[in-house]
C-alpha cells in the first residue's frame, strides 16, 4: 500500500506536488491546533482549526478566532511555524531538510522550485534557495530587533521579544496575523512600528528572484555595467506606483471615515501603511468597519493585484498586472507585439497573464456568489446593505492571501468558512497552477489549425 502511494507521488506533476504539499501542511496544522493544550478552552471545532491552519500556511491572516486570546502559547507557536513554512514555501523547506539529511532531492521538487522562484531557467537553483533562507532570517531578525525596541517600553523583556519575533515573521511572510484583538490600531502613530512592518512587508512581497538579482547587482558586480531584467524592472516600478497611488487615494477618500480624528501626519502614515499592507499582508492601523465604499473598492483592487511572483503573497501578481497594462498600451498604439523597455515580451507570458486575470475574476465572482448563497443556510447577522461589499472584500482578501476583514469572516457559517479555505489555498498556489492540476490532461503539442477572426470589442 505504501509503495503504491509512493509511486503515485513520484508520478505527480510539479504543480500537483506543490498543491498536495500545501494540503498536507494544512491538515497537519489543523490536527495540531485541535490538541487540548493548543487552545485556552481546550476545545476547537475542526472547521475552525482547519481555517486557522489554512490561513497560516497560505500566509493570509484571516481569522475566525482571536489569535492572542483563544490560542495558548503552544498554539501560537504552531501558527508561527505554519506561517514560516508557508512563507518560505513548503518545497523550499523540504529541499533544505533533504540536503541537510544527505538525501536526494527529486526532479519534481526541483521543477516546483524552479517554477516558483525563477523567471528563467537557473543552474544555481540550490544557491538561490540557500540565499532565500539567509535573506529571510536576516530580515526577520532585524525586524524583530526593531520591534523589540518598540514593545520593550510596553511589555516585560521576554514578552516583548516574543511579540517582536511573532509579528516580524508574520509581516515578512505577509501573513497579517496579530496577537492583538484590534490588530495594530493601537499603534497608528508609531513611526518605528509602522515603518518596520511596512519594510518587512515590502521585502517579503517583491519576490525572492528580484531580491536575489538586486543583491548580485549591488554586491558582486560593482563598477561593471550590468543589465537589469525586465522582471525586476516591472516588479519595482509597479510596486512603487501602487504604493504611492494607493497612499494618495486612501488619504483623499478617508478623511471623514477611518482617518477621522487623526493629525495630518497620522493620516499620511496610516494611508501609507494601509496602501502597503492591503496588497498582501493584512495588518491594519485603522478601523476597517468605518471604510467608505470607495476606499473599500480601492483596497479590493489592491488586494486583487497582490504581491510579486516568487514572494510570500498572493493575488494575480504585480507582473501580471504590468503585462496586462503593457498589452493594452501596445494595442492602443497599434503594435502587434508587446514591447517594453526595448524588449518584446514572449507570447507565452502575455497569454498566461490574460488567462490568470480571466480565471481569477471568474473564480472570485463564483466564490462571492456561493458565499452570498450560503446565507440561506445559516446566519443573517450582516444587513443586506452591507453584505455585498463585506463579502466581496472578504473573498478578494482570501484570494489575495491578504487577511484584511470588514468583519464578515467572524460570523459566516461553516459552509462560508470552507469556501474561504478553498479560496485561500487557490490564492496561494495560483489559480493557473490549480487549473493545471484539475484538468491534468495536456493539450497536444504542435497542432495548429486555420485561423478565423471574430468580431470583438
pLDDT at 455: 57
What pTM does this model have?
0.87
pLDDT band with cut points at 50, 70 and 90 for residue 121: very low
CA angle at 54 for the pair 53 and 59, rounded to the nearest 5°:
100
Q: Is the pLDDT of residue 10 over 60?
A: no
- Could you tell me the three cell numbers for 9? 507521488
pLDDT at 199: 94
Comparison of pLDDT for 75 and 107, the residue scoring more: 75
Q: Residue range 151-155: average pLDDT?
A: 92
User: What 3-state DSSP class applies to 71?
Assistant: strand
- String of DSSP letters for 35-52: SGGGBSSS---HHHHHHH
Least confident piece of the model among 6-10, 180-184, 271-275: 6-10
pLDDT at 1: 44
- Cell numbers 507565452 correspond to 348
Q: Is the pLDDT of residue 432 over 80?
A: no
User: What 3-state DSSP class applies to 383?
Assistant: coil
pLDDT at 108: 52
- Could you tell me the three cell numbers for 127? 544557491
Name the region of 122 (left: φ>0; alpha: ψ -120 to 50; beta: rest): beta
Other CB atoms within 10 A of residue 98 CB: 14
Cα 250 from Cα 218, distance rounded (Å): 34
User: What 3-state DSSP class applies to 291?
Assistant: coil
Give the C-alpha distances (Å, rounded to integers) separating 149 from 165, 172, 177, 197, 233.
Answer: 12, 18, 20, 13, 35
How far from chain centre, in Å, is Cα 220?
30
Q: 377: exposed, middle or buried (C-beta count within 10 Å: 0-12, 13-18, 19+)?
A: exposed
Q: Residue range 314-325: average pLDDT?
A: 90
Comparison of pLDDT for 346 and 439, the residue scoring more: 346
- Could you tell me the three cell numbers for 229? 531584467
pLDDT band with cut points at 50, 70 and 90 for residue 111: low
Contact assessment for residue 180 and residue 92, using Cβ atoms and an 8 Å cutoff: no
Which residues is 340 bridged to in the sheet?
Answer: 343
Cα 149 from Cα 112, distance rounded (Å): 39
Least confident piece of the model among 221-230, 351-360, 362-371: 221-230
Percent of the chain scored above 70 by pLDDT? 78
pLDDT at 112: 53
Q: Residue range 42-65: average pLDDT?
A: 91
Q: Residue range 94-100: average pLDDT?
A: 52
Q: Which residues fall within 8 angstroms of residue 390, CB to CB, at 6 or more apart?
A: 382, 406, 407, 408
Contact assessment for residue 163 and residue 147, using Cβ atoms and an 8 Å cutoff: yes
Cα 100 from Cα 103, distance rounded (Å): 8
Amino acid at each position: 500500500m505504501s509503495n503504491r502511494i509512493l509511486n503515485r507521488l513520484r508520478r505527480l506533476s510539479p504543480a500537483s506536488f506543490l498543491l498536495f504539499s500545501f494540503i498536507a501542511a494544512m491538515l497537519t496544522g489543523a490536527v495540531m491546533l485541535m490538541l487540548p493544550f493548543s487552545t485556552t478552552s481546550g476545545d476547537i471545532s475542526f472547521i475552525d482549526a482547519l481555517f486557522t491552519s489554512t490561513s497560516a500556511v497560505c500566509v493570509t491572516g484571516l481569522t475566525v478566532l482571536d489569535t492572542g486570546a483563544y490560542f495558548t502559547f503552544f498554539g501560537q507557536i504552531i501558527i508561527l511555524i505554519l506561517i514560516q513554512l508557508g512563507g518560505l514555501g513548503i518545497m523550499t523547506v523540504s529541499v533544505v531538510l533533504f540536503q541537510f539529511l544527505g538525501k536526494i532531492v527529486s526532479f519534481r521538487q526541483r521543477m516546483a522550485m524552479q517554477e516558483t522562484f525563477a523567471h528563467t531557467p537557473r543552474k544555481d537553483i540550490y544557491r538561490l534557495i540557500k540565499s532565500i533562507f539567509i535573506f529571510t532570517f536576516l530580515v526577520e531578525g532585524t525586524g524583530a530587533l526593531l520591534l523589540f525596541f518598540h514593545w520593550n517600553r510596553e511589555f516585560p523583556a521576554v514578552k516583548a521579544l516574543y511579540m517582536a519575533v511573532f509579528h516580524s515573521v508574520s509581516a515578512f511572510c505577509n501573513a497579517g496575523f496579530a496577537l492583538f484583538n484590534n490588530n495594530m490600531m493601537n499603534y497608528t502613530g508609531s513611526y518605528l512600528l509602522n515603518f518596520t512592518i511596512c519594510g518587512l512587508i515590502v521585502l517579503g512581497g517583491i519576490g525572492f528572484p528580484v531580491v536575489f538579482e538586486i543583491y548580485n547587482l549591488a554586491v558582486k558586480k560593482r563598477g561593471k555595467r550590468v543589465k537589469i531584467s525586465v522582471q525586476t524592472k516591472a516588479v519595482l516600478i509597479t510596486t512603487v506606483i501602487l504604493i504611492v497611488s494607493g497612499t494618495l487615494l486612501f488619504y483623499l477618500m478617508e478623511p471623514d471615515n477611518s482617518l477621522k480624528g487623526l493629525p495630518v501626519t497620522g493620516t499620511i502614515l496610516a494611508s501609507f501603511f494601509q496602501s502597503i499592507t492591503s496588497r498582501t499582508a493584512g495588518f491594519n492601523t485603522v478601523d476597517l468597519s468605518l471604510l467608505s465604499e470607495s476606499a473599500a473598492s480601492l483596497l479590493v483592487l489592491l488586494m486583487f493585484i497582490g504581491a510579486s511572483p516568487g514572494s510570500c503573497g498572493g493575488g494575480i501578481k504585480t507582473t501580471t498586472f504590468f503585462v496586462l497594462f503593457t498589452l493594452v498600451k501596445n494595442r492602443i498604439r497599434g503594435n502587434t507585439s508587446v514591447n517594453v523597455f526595448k524588449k518584446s515580451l514572449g507570447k507565452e507570458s502575455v497569454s498566461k497573464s490574460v488567462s490568470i486575470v480571466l480565471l481569477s475574476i471568474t473564480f472570485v465572482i463564483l466564490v462571492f456568489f456561493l458565499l452570498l448563497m450560503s446565507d440561506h443556510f445559516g446566519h443573517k447577522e450582516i444587513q443586506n446593505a452591507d453584505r455585498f461589499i463585506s463579502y466581496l472584500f472578504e473573498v478578494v482578501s482570501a484570494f489575495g492571501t491578504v487577511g484584511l476583514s470588514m468583519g464578515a469572516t467572524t460570523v459566516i457559517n461553516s459552509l462560508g468558512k470552507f469556501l474561504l479555505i478553498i479560496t485561500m489555498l487557490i490564492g496561494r498556489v495560483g489559480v493557473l497552477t490549480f487549473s493545471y492540476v484539475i484538468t491534468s490532461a495536456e493539450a497536444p503539442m504542435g497542432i495548429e489549425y486555420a485561423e478565423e477572426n471574430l468580431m470583438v470589442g
